[in-house]
Structure 1
Amino acid sequence: MRTHAAPAPFRILVVEDDDTIGRHLESGLRGNGYAPAWSRTGAGALTEAAQSRYDVLLLDLGLPDMDGLDVARQLRARFPDLLILILTARTDDIDVIAGLDAGADDYLVKPFSLTVLLARLRAHLRRRTIASPPQEPVRAGDVVIDVIARRCTVQDQEIELRPKEFELLAVLARNAGEAVSRETLMAEVWDENWFGSTKTLDVTMAGLRRRLTDVMVRPNGVSPPYRMPRITTLRGHGYRLELE
Structure 2
Amino acid sequence: MQANLSAAESYQPNAVLDEHPEVLTQIFEPQINMACYQRELAAGVISYGHELIEYNRQFNIRCVIKAESILKNLNSVMPDLTHKQAFIEDLGLLVDMYACLFDLEEIGLRLQVLDRAMCPRFHTDKLGCRLVTTYQGQGSEWLCDEVIDRSKLGAGNGGLSDDLSGLYQHSSDIQQASIGDVLLLKGDGWFGNDGAGIVHRSPTVPSGEQRIVATMDFA
* Superposed pair shares fold, TM > 0.5: no
Where on the TM-score scale, by shorter chain, does this alignment land: which range?
under 0.3
TM-score of the superposed pair, with normalisation by structure 2 = 0.24
- Answer with 1 or 2: which has the greater Rg: 1
TM-score when normalising by structure 1: 0.22
Higher helix fraction: Structure 1 or Structure 2?
Answer: 1
